[in-house]
Chain A
Amino acid sequence: MPERTRLPWRRAPLAILALAVLAPDADAHLPALRGRLIELVQQSDVIVAAKVKQTQPAGEPVSTTTIAVERVLRGHTAGPTLSFRGAIHVAPGARYVFFLRHSGAVVECVQPSGVVFPAPPQDDAVYRATIVAIGEALQADDPSRELKLRAALVPALSAGAAALRYNAALELASMSAHGPPLGDDERARLARLLADPHVDPALRPLLVPLISAPRNTSMETKEPIGDRLEKEGRGG
């Protein structure tokens, strides 16, 4: 695998690293609803859109999945067919985007159980654009990396695939909370998106606060606890 695609954790934006550390799923009793695109891109050697050919149990909860690669979105594959081990369960015939990583001689899927990306062919372009842009942003130096990552997520907000759309929106909201507030250009882009009557209404509660957030403060780093508690209200 080309070394340049193996982005080490030390190059990760601080906020993303913090998220990975702060929200471990393994010991949570409830699944965390959060965006995972950036960490999945970061952990992957190869990302493909592929149709499932076969699955075989490999000791619960792991299964071995064989796929027919239809489009390589990142990295390289040795051939049109690929087998990997992972915690996701998908059926033969269905088409998904898979985030994969080489581990010695085997290929592993880095997606946790239940984190799947259905991929009708018409969404290939937006998947590719998002993944490529995230990959490029991850190689940029601070502080532009944060802005580039956010910019990479915006096109995915209009994706047909709900999983891609929701992941992008959740990730954008989280990054905005941890990092610098959105700039005027970013706000304008989101405002245009939300003005579209066809936009998924589920995105509004996530994106509207980003547009209306103060321009020169960060909730995570600058807002005193007392202010946050005050905002939350005192019950009723």
Chain B
Amino acid sequence: MAGARSDVVFLAIGLLLAGCGGTDSSGAQPTPLRVGVAAVRLTPCGSNPDWDGPITPSGVWGEEFTDTDGNGRWDQGEPFVDDPVNTALDPGSAEKYDGIFLAGFGNDRIASGCHDDLWARVIVLQGPTKKVALVSVDFVGELLHGKYYGFSYARDLVDPALGLDAIVFSSTHVHEAPDTIGLWGVSEFSDGKFPRYLQFVDRQVARAIDAAAAPGALRPATVVAARTDPSAAAELRGLQVRTRCRPPFFFDDEVRALQFIGDDHETIATLINWNTHPESLEDQNTEVSSDFVGYIRQRVEAALGGTAVYFTGDLGAVEIVGDTCVGGADPHNADGSNPFDRRDDLGFGRTQQLGELVGDAVIAALHGGESLDVAQLDVASTSYYVAGSNATLSFANTIGLLDLDAEAFDVAHCPAGTSLCVPVEQHSVTLSNGAGRPSVQLVTAPGELFPELFYGVAQHHRTDCPAADTGAPYEPSIRSAMTAPYRLLIGLSPDEFGYIVPGYDFYPPPSLGDEASDACVGQPFDPEFPVRKVPTHYHESLSVGRAIAATTTCHALQLLGDEAEVAGNEACRAAGLP
């Protein structure tokens, strides 16, 4: 594993500069923006002064067990010491082995070691009147309101004296990190979460926020912004595919970056926003890893200095090349080939290559980036409930795989007859110039947002199969409601509520564990790529329901102040907005 493992590492910048004012040493104009950053390890391996739980002989954290077959991992049926701390947190943990099961793909993928570190990384922005923390953790997804864990617990641990107006939590959605949801346990009916570890995570996330938001950690900063895409950065070509080639073959292929530079001209932090599932390592890997996200951060930090913080964007149905649309990716090289569009080369070598390609694109874009005049920081937040229905999630909660907080998820918050009622939080953050014009806008989404919903379903919908259109109205474009030149979307924030699928193409699963078909299933839809065929509707089987697409987009528009579009949009009206 990279780096020292001796301690939780704080990278809070500027602690030595406490008391430094808003004017830089060169006498330039004072900047009203102050920035702090911190990174705290969440890696569940080896010694850590903040970890008070058991460690297995492999170094991976987990309950002690007798390795009767000597294969180095706990197998179902092997005796173990049932840690009462886990049972106290979650009574369902009694007589269950609690350890690190990797989240993503199938069950029983218990961690054999840690390849590289997992992190809670935080950027705090303080403007003249507002102060906000942007938090990113290397997990498949989190909950705000878990029964005994989650971001709300971390939020409660943050020092209130720091005066944060909002904390924007999110997950990078890596598929090689501990199960924070519960669906990936030793068996399909066994909770994969490790309660004691999740409580550790809450503490460390709060610690990272405290470190980044501390007055002494905040430094005057200027901002360089950049965006790039495959048309400008050849290294980005052909890296994204749609899950099982699901149409439309549309992506948010823009990489966005904000570089915060201190008054010493050194980089404090770099915020990176890309929109692809971090799952290059796929399902055969058993070592904890942050996947290509870690390599992107490393590459950017090596070139620019400071701390890189990666935020996942609108990645619904968008996978990294080589995943389930094998042979269907766009070319990567000028000769039309794509060396990554295969499944016989999955592993850390390829993952590093992919991360470094994206990192290089970020670095190049920032070298030609735009220095922003930032005079104001604004934050807006909203919370509401979505009435959904998903038999899989309901059943998983009933049998204790999920641990949703009963009060927060009480169906009484939703219309009668609702089977799944989810509490949603959304935020927007805006950096504006001296004229009050937005330079950067950032909006959050509570799950895996399809890119069509960010860019606009009316412009980016399926054309291959009119018969498949459900007739549901198109949700409005979030991006079109943004007026800033730099428009960011942070997905899985704060919750991972599954896929957020446009209503016109939302086919609910006919039964639990099942996937619906539409009128064109199995048909090729792109003559140039015959392998691209209409698949069954996988994503809907892991979605809160159709309604969340409209509520997410319409509330985002409200946060951005576009009330007129909300009022005029049929999908918003059907969702009960405004």
Contacts and interface: CB of A to CB of B under 8 A. Distances in A.
Interface stretch (A1-9, A122-130, A141-149, A222-230): A222-230
B512 A33 contact: yes
Interface stretch (A76-84, A111-119, A180-188): A111-119
A29 B395 contact: no
Interface string A195-231: 0000001100110000000000001100001101100
A71 interface: no
A17 interface: no
A229 B385 contact: no
A55 interface: yes
Nearest to B414: A236
A63 B71 contact: yes
B67 to A, nearest CB: 9
Nearest to B511: A177
B77 A33 contact: no
A166 B545 contact: no
A235 B387 contact: yes
Interface in A81-98: 88-94
Determine the interface band of chain B, counting residues with CB < 8 A from chain A.
35 or more
B284 A60 contact: yes
A89 B190 CA distance: 14
A190 B203 CA distance: 47
Contacts, number: 188
A16 B77 CA distance: 31
A178 to B, nearest CB: 7
A163 B187 CA distance: 9
A113 B77 CA distance: 15
Given A35-B513, A91-B69, A236 B576 contact: yes
Contact of B470 (A29, A92, A229): A229
A139 interface: no
A234 interface: yes
Contact of B511 (A60, A90, A178): A178
Given A28-B105, A90-B77, A112-B106, A206 B187 contact: no
A35 B508 CA distance: 18
B514 A22 contact: yes
Interface string A19-45: 100110111111111110000000000
A150 to B, nearest CB: 13
A153 interface: no
Given A91-B75, A114-B186, A205-B391, A19 B514 contact: yes
What range describes how many residues of A lie at the interface? 35 or more
B255 to A, nearest CB: 22
**Most chain A beta-carbon contacts within 10 A, residue among B109, B186, B387, B395:** B395
Given A91-B75, A114-B108, A163-B187, A235 B398 contact: no
B87 interface: no
A217 to B, nearest CB: 13
B510 A89 contact: no
Interface in B501-516: 503, 506-508, 510-515
A23 B512 CA distance: 11
B56 interface: no
Interface in B365-406: 384-389, 391-392, 394-396, 398-399
Given A166-B399, A201-B398, A205-B391, A31 B514 contact: no
A236 B513 contact: no
Interface stretch (B12-20, B477-485, B534-542): B534-542
Contacts of B431: none
Query: Which are the 9 A-B pairs with shortest beta-carbon distances?
Result: A114-B107, A34-B513, A235-B547, A94-B77, A177-B511, A91-B77, A27-B324, A91-B78, A114-B108
Interface of B: 68-69, 71, 73, 75-78, 104-109, 175, 183-189, 244, 277, 279, 283-284, 286, 323-324, 384-389, 391-392, 394-396, 398-399, 414-415, 417-419, 470-472, 503, 506-508, 510-515, 517, 536, 538, 541-542, 545-548, 550-551, 574-576
